[in-house]
Structure 1
């Protein structure tokens, strides 16, 4: 249990840091982060704090979907945006296409690595992933359809609000699924007896977020997040 809790905390922290690097790259971010960015621009509240707040609001949508949050759900809301905000305070904006792409790639790899770590802990999906899996359960729609509807909607709203949407958004969408798949295969759920059990989630989104194949809360849904 101690190892699993540590994996959950480390995974979510790395996820928040990876998202922050993608933001600093300035080339485009994933749908949920673009949404948070847009809200941040109009409220003056840090994008990390907005990410936490949005996670809490999304959790309320679980009620009609009859989803039950777990430790991982609560930790996601508390840690992901907080670490994102802290990282943004440390890493300044950058200039130059080479440096920007370096941060984008580094951030994407970090998010994929983090996803495999915290999903492997086995403490349940994050609020955004749970929303999509809940729609799948209650409405009977395929995960990829639920994910597409949710993520395209928040991406469009985020773009209209001024969130960063660009080549980075496309790269993240195409790369995160395969990368998370590899990460999840590497970081299998660690049992109390120390043995590892592979737990590769169904695809669609969580990817929970995208035309990418991400595992639930994994890469098939987003992260983020």
Structure 2
């Protein structure tokens, strides 16, 4: 195996860890989170199951929905399902809730920036998208958001900021972390 494979694997793992950790940061900020995390929070509140495990279970459920679509997951897709939840729990364990609105805004902003970088890392590794990355996003995420809010998940200005900013931010980070495909040249 070449060093490029190891670089891709390391970049994927770093991206997935940072992705989950950033979710923990945004939850601790208390200003609202992404639609999928609102669903995870609400489900966790209603069931008593830890947020990280709920995140893994939701990722697995979404991945199973790929079967009828005949969409094939990559190793990064499977690792996303397994690793984002535990790394979110690490973030929740080590990041404390800030005092005051400016602390909340700073923590949320840092979490959002880290999430954009993390997304660029794991998608740029080209080992498969996350299970939630492939679907018709807007309609599904509005439904997920409504369900999570009904279950008690946190919806707020952070949720709006996430919806408006994450796309443009990820569009900036993905080219930076993209590992190009090398093809064999024809004789």
**Do they fold alike, i.e. is TM over 0.5?**
yes
Displacement of 1:191 in angstroms is 5.2
Q: Which structure's residues are more often helix, by fraction? A: 2
Gaps of at least 5 residues in structure 2 are none
Q: Show the counterpart of 1:178.
A: 168
Q: Structure 1 segments of 4 or more deviating over 6 A?
A: none
Q: Show the counterpart of 1:168.
A: 158
Gaps of at least 5 residues in structure 1 are 133-145, 194-225
Q: Distance in 2 between matches of 1:17 and 1:190?
A: 27
Q: Is the radius of gyration larger for structure 1 or structure 2?
A: 2
Q: Show the counterpart of 2:10.
A: 6
The alignment of Structure 1 onto Structure 2 pairs a total of residues equal to 179
Distance 1:5 1:190, change over 3 A: farther
8 A contact 1:3–1:190 mirrored in 2: no
What's the TM-score, normalizing by structure 1? Answer: 0.77
Q: Show the counterpart of 2:66.
A: 62
8 A contact 2:124–2:175 mirrored in 1: no
Residue 187 in structure 1 maps to residue 183 in structure 2:
no
Q: Show the counterpart of 2:25.
A: 21
Q: Show the counterpart of 1:213.
A: none
Displacement of 1:192 in angstroms is 6.9
> Which of 1 and 2 has higher RCO (CA within 8 Å, sep 6+)?
2
